[in-house]
Amino acid sequence: MTKLSMTVNGKAVSGEVEGRTLLVQFLRETLHLTGTHVGCDTSQCGACTVHIDGKAVKSCSIFAADAAGANVTTIEGMANADGSLSVIQQAFQDCHGLQCGFCTPGMVMTSAALLADNPHPTEAEVRHGLEGNICRCTGYHNIVKAVLTASGQTVAAE
């Protein structure tokens, strides 16, 4: 067992993990932060995306021990301090950028990293930025619309 400490959603946390424990397992099973989803176990779908020190990372592709000392943000940490939805979360709701919701946490986390790096992306840049995330319900159109809306861009109504 390995002892580790990190900051998750602004709070210092610690725990013991086996060396093979993935970050997604630590978040879900030890910290009970179940918004980070496990979709494929092969880092293909993006449902487990979190931010580690500000960068989007698929938490099923990193050992928990490798995140020791890091600042981790999960979907639970994306809301505003008053508990209201972040701009990105609100845009996903307003633009109907979700259906079943399974991919939504990863999409939101990936979108936040994309907008942090590129505050006013083009539609093509959004589509490229979301390539590592799979949605089986929406066809992506409204997800792209949500990201563009969150960036402050006016999106034409359909």
In terms of Cβ atoms closer than 10 Å to its own Cβ (0-12, 13-18, 19+), residue 3 is exposed
Instruction: Give the three-class secondary structure for 28.
Output: helix
| Domains in the chain: boundaries | 2-77, 87-150
User: How much is the average pLDDT of 71-100?
Assistant: 95
CATH class entry, domain 87-150? mainly alpha
Lowest mean pLDDT among 55-59, 81-85, 137-141, 152-156: 152-156
| pLDDT for res 119 | 96
| pLDDT for res 158 | 52
CATH class entry, domain 2-77? alpha beta
The pLDDT-based confidence of 117 (bands split at 50, 70, 90) is very high
Distance CA 66, CA 4 (A): 9
Give the pTM: 0.93
